[in-house]
């Protein structure tokens, strides 16, 4: 396969990647061709500037997956503005923080959402639009000639740990990220890519941008239940599915029509490693599909992917660097680790974001000079995640440095405990936590959702499995079973909420 071009363009030029008459969007609100998307982006860019916005101003959108939510990233880029997507699941206090922190000059939302904002939640200098049609001008702005290094978006993290941070992304970051993903996923104009994840989540936004980079058709979906996903696959002829682990757990627990399973030719995962039993289950469920296991961080968009041809032999791997990324595994002193030696994943190259918005202190902690061995150099993202590289150059995720459990002098990865629990078949989801212990330093607490049957049976099966499969120091001292585990607005298990509930 020919290498993708490394030359970035303004983000709004993505609408020029597809054939004008092909569909760029198919959704409940209707269909939009690439030609129509180009015109809409131009009309909305003019409509934004008609609100009195100037180059560099921030425009926030707190919307479900409406037409405007799909077009605004391109329109803002064309108008020289900075787009700030806000997860529609967030409540007024979180929205207020993002509006104030970003210094948004305009909020685009719906009247029912605007009514939930309290006094002072929307800054006095932030205008409000609740009718997205008001942004559609009769005039059309042509494709921009923006400098690809310009800031074009501030993407806020979910805020599951502390205050949400605004990650600053340039045209080049988003353009090259979209081109890279479209290339290694082999997106074509024949693809219909379901966008079930929030657009305010980097992986969710990728469903739009990488689909357009490959000339395919994006299918945005707000779903209430996993069965809504199946219905969308059937209704829109979806060929590509993306999810985070909790969504894949849910999709694997329900019955699918055989025709729908056979239609899917690509499934992708990031936002957490899939347990090996679930990898095997998905491979069996979707016989015609290639499974892409991936790893990414908002600060660098996406870092690695595993070639689907290697999935069966390496189901616990996150693969190698994606196009344009340089990924290293380093020791605390910045030197490269040996094969089999755990180290911190460091990502360098043009996908690295510009830092955190108005937060130089936290930027300095995460965005630091690349290790001396880096070929690309410059500023790199030091992820805080521990990985191991094998002799074939494949990476395996071990855990986050700040989540490692220190028990009886041992460093234990929560991921290992969680995957052992799921492998037992007794539970469908699990979170391992370290709890203070005067003798051990920390003891292991496991919080899990049973896969079926009684809590007592699941407890007994887990205990037996752990005794057979794990050394003594990795045995959970306590197992708490719950019928449901909390999730954050991006659909991931909310480890912070689980920690607060069970360690209070």
Kindly write down the DSSP assignment for every residue of 67-114, as one continuous string.
HHHHHHHHHHHHHT-EEEEE-TT--HHHHHHHHHHHT-SEEEE-HHHH
Q: Is 402 exposed, middle or buried (0-12, 13-18, 19+ CB in 10 A)?
A: exposed
Q: Give a yes or no: residue 5 inside a domain.
A: no
Residues 384 and 414 in one domain: no
Residues 368 and 454 in one domain: no
Residues 179 and 112 in one domain: yes
Q: Give a yes or no: residue 2 inside a domain.
A: no
What is residue 37's predicted lDDT score, i.e. its pLDDT? 98
What is the per-residue pLDDT across 355-380, written as a single tens digit (0 to 9) for each? 999 999 999 999 999 999 999 999 99
Residues 104 and 163 in one domain: yes
| DSSP letters spanning 237-283 | T--EEEE-HHHHHHHHTS---HHHHHH--EEEE-SSPPPHHHHHHHH
CA distance 328 to 318: 13
Whether 73 shows a pLDDT value over 60: the answer reads yes
Contact present, 346 and 370 (Cβ < 8 Å): yes
Whether 208 shows a pLDDT value over 90: the answer reads yes
Residues 466-479, mean pLDDT to the nearest whole number:
87
Residues 398-406, mean pLDDT to the nearest whole number:
76
Residues 262 and 410 in one domain: no
Residues 211 and 274 in one domain: yes
Residues 420 and 376 in one domain: no
Q: Give a yes or no: residue 1 inside a domain.
A: no
Percent of the chain residues topping a pLDDT of 90: 80
Whether 26 shows a pLDDT value over 60: the answer reads yes
Contact present, 498 and 485 (Cβ < 8 Å): yes
Residue after which a domain boundary falls, among 388, 422, 439:
388
Residues 383 and 412 in one domain: no
CA distance 473 to 123: 52
Q: Give a yes or no: residue 191 inside a domain.
A: yes
| DSSP β-ladder status, 367-369 and 266-269 | unpaired
Q: Which residues of 376-400 are buried (b: 16+ CB within 10 A; e: fewer)?
A: eeeebbbbebbbbbeeeebbbbbbb
Instruction: Find the CATH number of the domain harbouring 489.
Output: 3.30.300.30
Residues 167 and 257 in one domain: yes
Supply the DSSP symbol for 138. Answer: S
Residues 430 and 355 in one domain: no
What is residue 406's predicted lDDT score, i.e. its pLDDT? 77
Q: Which residues contact 320 (CB under 8 A, 6 or more apart)?
A: 304, 305, 306, 307, 327, 393, 394, 395
| DSSP β-ladder status, 478-481 and 266-269 | unpaired
Q: What Rg do the C-alpha atoms of the chain give, in angstroms? A: 23
CA distance 490 to 470: 32
For all residues of the chain together, what is the average pLDDT?
Answer: 93
Instruction: Find the CATH number of the domain harbouring 62.
Output: 3.40.50.12780
Give the lowest-confidence range in 209-218, 314-323, 400-409, 448-457.
400-409
| DSSP letters spanning 271-288 | SSPPPHHHHHHHHHH-TT
Residues 115-143, mean pLDDT to the nearest whole number:
96
Supply the DSSP symbol for 436. Answer: E
**Nearest in space to 399 (alpha carbons), one of 333, 470, 495, 327:** 495
Domain of residue 294, residue span: 11-388
Vertex 97: Cα angle to 94 and 103 (nearest 5): 140
Residues 107-128, mean pLDDT to the nearest whole number:
96
Whether 486 shows a pLDDT value over 90: the answer reads yes
Whether 160 shows a pLDDT value over 50: the answer reads no
Domain count, the chain: 2
pLDDT band at 161 (very low <50, low <70, confident <90, very high): very low
Q: Give a yes or no: residue 398 inside a domain.
A: no
**Nearest in space to 191 (alpha carbons), one of 207, 211, 171:** 211
Whether 159 shows a pLDDT value over 60: the answer reads no
Whether 351 shows a pLDDT value over 70: the answer reads yes
pLDDT band at 157 (very low <50, low <70, confident <90, very high): confident
84, β-bridge pairs: 60
Residues 475-497, mean pLDDT to the nearest whole number:
91
Whether 409 shows a pLDDT value over 70: the answer reads no
What is residue 490's predicted lDDT score, i.e. its pLDDT? 81
**Nearest in space to 58 (alpha carbons), one of 105, 99, 124, 98:** 105
Residues 468-495, mean pLDDT to the nearest whole number:
89
Residues 449-454, mean pLDDT to the nearest whole number:
91
Residues 359 and 412 in one domain: no
More confidently predicted of 314 and 413:
314
Q: How far is CA 441 from CA 315, 317, 438, 495, in A?
A: 33, 31, 6, 20
345, β-bridge pairs: 329
pLDDT band at 158 (very low <50, low <70, confident <90, very high): low
Distance of CA 232 to the CA centre of its chain: 21
Q: For residue 401, how many C-alpha atoms fall within 13 Å in the half-sphere facing its CB?
A: 12
Residues 473-477, mean pLDDT to the nearest whole number:
88
**Nearest in space to 129 (alpha carbons), one of 108, 98, 100:** 108
Q: Give a yes or no: residue 3 inside a domain.
A: no
- The encoded tokens of residue 415 equal 């991921």
CA distance 313 to 37: 42
Residue after which a domain boundary falls, among 363, 388, 413:
388
Q: Give a yes or no: residue 432 inside a domain.
A: yes
Q: Give a yes or no: residue 397 inside a domain.
A: no
pLDDT band at 254 (very low <50, low <70, confident <90, very high): very high
Residues 372 and 419 in one domain: no
Contact present, 210 and 181 (Cβ < 8 Å): yes
């Amino acid at each position: 396969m020919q290498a993708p071009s490394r030359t970035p363009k303004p983000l709004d030029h993505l609408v020029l990647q597809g054939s004008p008459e092909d569909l760029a969007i198919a959704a409940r609100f209707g269909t939009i061709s690439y030609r129509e998307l180009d015109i809409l982006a131009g009309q909305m860019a003019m409509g934004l500037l008609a609100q009195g916005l100037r180059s560099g101003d921030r425009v926030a959108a707190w919307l479900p997956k409406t037409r405007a939510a799909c077009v605004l990233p391109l329109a803002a880029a064309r108008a020289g503005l900075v787009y700030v997507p806000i997860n529609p699941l967030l409540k007024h206090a979180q929205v207020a923080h993002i509006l104030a922190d970003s210094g948004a000059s305009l909020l685009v939302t719906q009247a029912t959402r605007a009514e939930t904002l309290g006094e002072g939640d929307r800054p006095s200098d932030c205008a409000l639009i609740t009718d997205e049609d008001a942004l559609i001008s009769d005039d059309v702005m042509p494709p921009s000639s923006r400098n690809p290094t310009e800031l074009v978006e501030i993407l806020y993290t979910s805020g599951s740990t502390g205050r949400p941070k605004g990650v600053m992304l340039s045209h080049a970051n988003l353009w090259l990220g979209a081109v890279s993903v479209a290339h290694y996923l082999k997106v074509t104009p024949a693809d219909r890519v379901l966008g079930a994840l929030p657009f305010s989540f980097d992986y969710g936004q990728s469903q739009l941008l990488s689909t357009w980079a490959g000339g395919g058709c994006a299918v945005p979906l707000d779903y209430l239940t996993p069965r809504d996903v199946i219905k969308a696959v059937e209704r829109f002829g979806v060929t590509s599915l993306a999810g985070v682990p909790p969504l894949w757990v849910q999709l694997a627990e329900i019955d699918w029509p055989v025709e729908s399973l056979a239609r899917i030719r690509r499934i992708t995962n990031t936002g957490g490693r899939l347990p090996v039993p679930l990898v095997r289950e998905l491979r069996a469920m979707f016989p015609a599909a290639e499974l892409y296991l991936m790893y990414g961080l908002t600060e660098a968009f996406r870092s690695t992917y595993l070639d689907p041809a290697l999935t069966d032999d390496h189901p616990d791997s996150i693969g190698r660097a994606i196009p344009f990324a340089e990924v290293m595994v380093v020791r605390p002193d910045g030197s490269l680790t040996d094969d089999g030696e755990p180290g911190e994943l460091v990502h360098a190259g043009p996908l690295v974001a510009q830092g955190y918005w108005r937060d130089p202190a936290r930027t300095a902690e995460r965005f630091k000079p690349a290790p001396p061995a880096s070929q690309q150099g410059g500023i790199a993202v030091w992820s805080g995640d521990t990985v191991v590289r094998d002799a074939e150059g494949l990476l395996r995720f071990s855990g986050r440095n700040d989540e490692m459990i220190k028990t009886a002098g041992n460093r234990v990865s929560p991921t290992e405990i969680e995957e052992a629990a799921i492998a037992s078949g007794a539970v469908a989801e699990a979170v391992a936590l370290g709890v203070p212990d005067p003798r051990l330093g920390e003891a292991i607490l496991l919080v899990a959702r049973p896969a079926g049957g009684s809590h007592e049976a699941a407890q007994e099966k887990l205990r037996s499995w752990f005794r057979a499969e794990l050394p003594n120091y990795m045995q959970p001292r306590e197992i708490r079973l719950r019928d449901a585990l909390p999730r954050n607005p991006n659909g991931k298990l909310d480890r912070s909420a689980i920690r607060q509930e069970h360690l209070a």
